[in-house]
Structures are given as structure tokens and as C-alpha cells.
Chain A
Amino acid sequence: MTAVETLASIARNPAQVATEWKANGGKVVGYRCLYVPEEVIWAAGMLPYPLYGTPEPVGLADAYFQACTCEFVRNVFDHALSGRLAFLDGLVLSNTCDVVRRLYDIWSRHVEATPVYLINNPQKLLDEANKDYFLEELHRFRVHMEQLSGREITDEKLSDAIALYNETRTLLRELYALREQDPPPLTGVEALEICTAVTLLPKERANALLREVLAEVKARDVQEADGPRILVTGSLLDHAALIRIVEEEGGVVVIDDLCNTSRYFWHQVEDAPDPMTALYRFLNGRALCACMHPTEARIDHILALADTYEVEAAIDFNLKYCHPFLYEAPLLKARLEAQDIPTTVLEVGHDLSGHGQLRTRIQAFIEMVEA
């Protein structure tokens, strides 16, 4: 099996790596979203597990959440209720959106086996006016991880973790840089699955696999592809089905702006007087999620990606009922179209139902772009 295939199979079975880690006596800490600094968890000797859902319909969670809420969170909570997340030793959530906040409320009362902690991060970023506040929240989080792990998190361990994660980010940036080529040597489906797998793996192993992936991909004999170069954006895609549809209908997905892909690794943790300040600046320097302000930062970032990757069209896969992204969608679309990048906003479910109709719409969009 090639390194690309190894990572794809890890992506398709997210709990596998974590359950193996547990079987070897380690602790696993689940988390969402990107404002939880994984390095702190790792420095405590625990494996961070980004929560992913599965494309199955929601059942048990309906007793707690209305159907008119984010299906990703409902699906994940289903997993918790049915015991599929029993391997977690703890859960960390950040102050992201209404539904994640609600998940905190409900989880803390109904999933007693797994204690949940909330990092109360500010939502107005970039400006260092929030520094004292945010640093205090991060400090409290660090103490909590020490308590959960039973180990001290020294500055040295943190710095080591940061260096390790920076290496992961560098390797992924290098991989994504290859997609600037025309045509790219890597499909959108492969990129998504590689990234997802990397988010799940202990980073030493991830980095080793990524080096193999880079070698494999660079050695590829790339076929011509004459479909339009496409940017995909949205919140999170925990499986590749939608990207696959785009590529089956002739689109060439050259860059994806998602929580489990480029947003995960786009920026580095820069040097700072101490590792906590470094992590603060790192988190505060990325206003890439639609839940964070200023919105301009997110839109400028996507436009810059579109420019770098010479994108011809954009697709916003907006999860149904995902309010923050839905509010920003028309603003983003207007800015992209002002750059002559036709953009379609597609509201999508979390499972596979409705994919027939989606395929038709994607087909029509790509035909329109090619015309």
C-alpha cells in the first residue's frame, strides 16, 4: 500500500488510530474546533482526537437536539450516546458557534463518562487587545490538561510539541504547493483524505508518512486535465463524497479551505518569548473561521488562495443550518465574483441523502463555467 493509500484508509476510519493508542495505554482527548491548541494536549502526552462524524442519519441525538440544528454536531453526539466515543478520556470544546456551545451544555449533563472542558476564546481576533484574556484562558486550559493527564506540561515539552506540529504544517504546505501546478499531481479527494488522516495521527508518524507521500506524488506522471480549476470552501467535510462528485463531473479541485484541510495547517506558530505566547499569537492570528471576526480576514484569505491557485470557479459547501457560514456566504460570493470567479453556494446535508440532486447542480455549474 502506498503512503497515499495508507492515509486514505485512516481517514475513512477515524476512530482507528485513537483506539490503538488507547490499547497501548495512552489517553485520548477529543476536541473541536481549531481554536483548541493541540500542542498543549500533546505536550501532556495525550493524543488529540478531532471529532469527526459519519454519513449516517442521526437517531439518538434527536432526543436532545432539534432537527433544525447542525447535523455534524448531532451526528457526533449520536456517536457519544451510542458509546462509539467511549475511548475518549476527555473532550475540549472552544467558543465557536451556537451549536458547539449547546453541545457543551448537553454533553456535560448527559455524557458523564467523558468530562468536557470549554476554552472560552475571544471571537474578535488579530487585535492584541484580547491578549490578557485569551492567555488566561489558555493558561487555564493547560492546567486542566495537566490534571487530566496527571503530568506536568513544561515549557520545554510545549516548545517541542510546537516544533513537531510546525513540521507537520510545513510538510502539508509543501504538498499543497504542488497543487498550484496545472494540472495538479494530486486529486481533491486524495488531498482531503491525506489531511484528515494527518489530523488524526500522532505527528511523528504523520510527518514520516507525509515525506513518503511527497516523494510518491512528485514522482507521479500527471495526466492532462482540462476541467476548470476549482476552489472548495465551507466549514468541515468529514468525508470526500462531495469533492468526489465535483471531480467526477469534470472539476479539478486544486485548493480546499476547510477546517480539516488547509485551515488546519496554513499558518505556522512563530517564535515568541515563551511557548504560550507563541500559541496565543498563532490562534489569534488566524481569523479563518466564519465564527470569528473580522470577517474580512477570512474573505481576504480565500481570495488570496483563489489567486495563488489560479482558480476559475468556487464552490461553497455550506452545511445546512450552519448559520455563521450561511450569513457570510453572500458576502464571500460577491467578492469572488468581483474577481471574475463564478461561485455557487450549495446547502448540503451531512449524510449522503440528496447527493443525486447535488450532483445535477454541480454538473450544471461546471458546464456553465466551461461555457
Chain B
Amino acid sequence: MLHAGLDMGSLWTKAVVLADGEIAGWHVMPSGESSRDTATAALAAALAPLKAVLGDVASVAATGAGKGEATQAGQANREATEVLCAARGLSHLHPEARGVIEIGGESTRVVRLDDQGGVLEFAKNDKCASGTGIFLDAMGKLMGVELGEMGPLSLTSTEDVQITSTCVVFAESEVVSQVHRQTPKQDILRGIHRSIAVRVHGLVNRLQLDGRTAMVIGGLALNSGILRCLEELMYTPLAVPDQPQIVTALGAALIASENPRGSSDAAAGGNA
């Protein structure tokens, strides 16, 4: 039996398909302007390896900023919040995990888990762009560096460049002045990555997550530069699951497979 999960972020849309509880296909694409079109395309692409279509799927759960639109458009038949999906997805892959550090495009969230994978506490940063991919995106454009190159390039840095502002608006002017000073890009990048890591670390600290039992997920977990900075702040190497950017969508798919109906669930309440 097929089930699917959609994580409709503002920047990226992720889809995961489960066949009898195992990951059978997945897809990641930019969200673009029409969430309806993106959801359709993402699901289709995730189903393609199975030569299946949306009608073959028993249940689809949507999460993320665009979850309401997906259920309204009939692409998903239930909703779930990102916190629960991230927790469910990670504890499915790694039952030993006791913490989730999700660094996504628009928001950062950290979750503390009990030994059943249940959520004990969570904290988010979704008002401020400083801790997330939007900031990185903006800085990358400013410096003419592709997102995918930023991590590896920053790891070659040998100088400490401080980006001290907590606000992306002010941080941008600090970066501009560094560029004018002809500071090497890798050093500026490391400063930017460190600034993001410090914001994330602030949330980690509030929840007192143990770096040895927490794992990092979300699109930015793929950025080796941010990961290295966060490890330095936490004094411990950090584990990242395979395909960290789809873990939340996986969690949604699992929820779809466990609770196919979904009408009595909390997440539907946003529109009630």
C-alpha cells in the first residue's frame, strides 16, 4: 500500500512515498509561485520510480507552510505540524535520537525527544530570518557563490571574520563592507555560517539538547560549513541522517500511513 508525505516549505517542497512502510521514492524541488502546481509535480516525481500516480496513494499528509493549500486542493487528505513530522521522521530512521535540530529554508526548530520518539519540548525561530536558509541565500547572491559551494568553500577558511549583527539587514551591510575590503570569500562565508550556527545554538541551548544524541536535519544540514561551526559551538561531532532534507516529509508520510483518516487530528484545526 502506498502512502505519501508532503513538506511544503516556502522555499523548497519535499515529497516522500512509502510502499508498505518503506521509502520507495522521494523528490525535492523549489516551491515556486504555485504551491498547487509544485505539490502535484513533487508527488508525481516521487511516484515515478514506482510507475504510480496520485490516485494509487491511500493517504497523503501535508506539513509545512503550504499544508493548508495542499489539503484544500485535494492533494493531501490530512495535515500535521512540522514539529511532529520532524520528530516522527527522525525517530523512525534513528530510534536512538533524542534531539532534532532542523535547519530549514525559512525556519529553524529544535525538538527534544523521549525514548519513544515522543516530543518533550520544542522551540522555533520562525520570525527572524537570521538563523536560516533565507539569510544564506541572500548572502550567497551578494557574494556570487552558489549554495552548494558555500559549505566546502568555507571549510578552507583560515581567518576568523566576525559577523556580529543578529539581524540579517545589518549583517548584510557587514558582509558588503567585508567584500569591499576584499576579505577572502571563504573567510566571509565562514563568518556567515558561524552567525547562523550561533542562532541555532541559542535554540539548542534553550532546550539543552545533548549533541551526542541529537541529529541535524533539514536542507541546511547538507551545508558542511554550518555543521562544522555548530559542532565547534557544541563541542561534539554532530550526526546527520542520509537525505536530511526529506526527514520531515518522511514523518508526514509515516503519519499518513498510521492515521489515514486524519479528520479528528490537531493539525486540521488550523482551518476549523
On whether the beta carbons of A353 and B164 are closer than 8 Å, the reply is yes
* Segment 48-81 of A: residues with Cβ below 8 Å from B: 57, 59-60, 62-63, 67
On whether the beta carbons of A60 and B205 are closer than 8 Å, the reply is yes
Q: With the chains together, A63 CA to B208 CA distance in Å? A: 7
Q: What chain B residues lie within 8 Å of A59 (beta carbons)?
A: 201, 205
Q: What chain B residues lie within 8 Å of A62 (beta carbons)?
A: 202, 205-206
A26 to chain B minimum Cβ distance, whole angstroms, is 33
Q: What chain B residues lie within 8 Å of A63 (beta carbons)?
A: 205-208
Residue of A nearest to B164 (CB): A353
A78 to chain B minimum Cβ distance, whole angstroms, is 11
Determine which of B165, B198, B201, B208 lies in contact with A353 in the assembled complex, contact meaning CB atoms within 8 Å. Answer: B165
- How many chain B residues have a CB neighbour from A under 8 Å? 9
Q: What chain B residues lie within 8 Å of A60 (beta carbons)?
A: 205
Q: Tell me the dominant secondary structure on chain B's binding face.
A: helix
Q: With the chains together, A67 CA to B128 CA distance in Å? A: 14
Q: With the chains together, A370 CA to B224 CA distance in Å? A: 54
Q: Mark A332-360, 1 if CB is under 8 A from B, else 0.
A: 00000000000000000000010000000
Q: With the chains together, A353 CA to B202 CA distance in Å? A: 17
B11 to chain A minimum Cβ distance, whole angstroms, is 26
B229 to chain A minimum Cβ distance, whole angstroms, is 14
Residue of B nearest to A67 (CB): B202
Q: Mark A25-57, 1 if CB is under 8 A from B, else 0.
A: 000000000000000000000000000000001
Q: With the chains together, A277 CA to B25 CA distance in Å? A: 81
Q: What chain B residues lie within 8 Å of A57 (beta carbons)?
A: 198
* Segment 202-217 of B: residues with Cβ below 8 Å from A: 202, 205-208
B135 to chain A minimum Cβ distance, whole angstroms, is 17
Q: What chain A residues lie within 8 Å of B205 (beta carbons)?
A: 59-60, 62-63
Q: With the chains together, A57 CA to B163 CA distance in Å? A: 13
Q: With the chains together, A353 CA to B208 CA distance in Å? A: 26
Q: What chain B residues lie within 8 Å of A353 (beta carbons)?
A: 164-165
Q: What chain A residues lie within 8 Å of B202 (beta carbons)?
A: 62, 67
* Segment 181-227 of B: residues with Cβ below 8 Å from A: 198, 201-202, 205-208
Residue of B nearest to A352 (CB): B164
Q: With the chains together, A60 CA to B234 CA distance in Å? A: 11
* Segment 281-300 of A: residues with Cβ below 8 Å from B: none
Q: What chain A residues lie within 8 Å of B164 (beta carbons)?
A: 353
Q: What chain A residues lie within 8 Å of B198 (beta carbons)?
A: 57
Q: With the chains together, A57 CA to B198 CA distance in Å? A: 10
Q: Mark A123-140, 1 if CB is under 8 A from B, else 0.
A: 000000000000000000
Q: With the chains together, A217 CA to B201 CA distance in Å? A: 48
B146 to chain A minimum Cβ distance, whole angstroms, is 30
Q: With the chains together, A67 CA to B206 CA distance in Å? A: 10
Q: With the chains together, A63 CA to B123 CA distance in Å? A: 12
Residue of B nearest to A57 (CB): B198
Q: What chain A residues lie within 8 Å of B206 (beta carbons)?
A: 62-63
Q: With the chains together, A340 CA to B214 CA distance in Å? A: 60
Q: With the chains together, A67 CA to B125 CA distance in Å? A: 13
The winner among B164, B165, B198 for most chain A CB atoms within 10 A is B164
- Offer 14 A-B interface pairs, CB within 8 angstroms, sorted by A: A57-B198, A59-B201, A59-B205, A60-B205, A62-B202, A62-B205, A62-B206, A63-B205, A63-B206, A63-B207, A63-B208, A67-B202, A353-B164, A353-B165
Q: A62-B202, A67-B202, A353-B164 are in contact. List 11 more A-B contacts (CB 8 A).
A: A57-B198, A59-B201, A59-B205, A60-B205, A62-B205, A62-B206, A63-B205, A63-B206, A63-B207, A63-B208, A353-B165
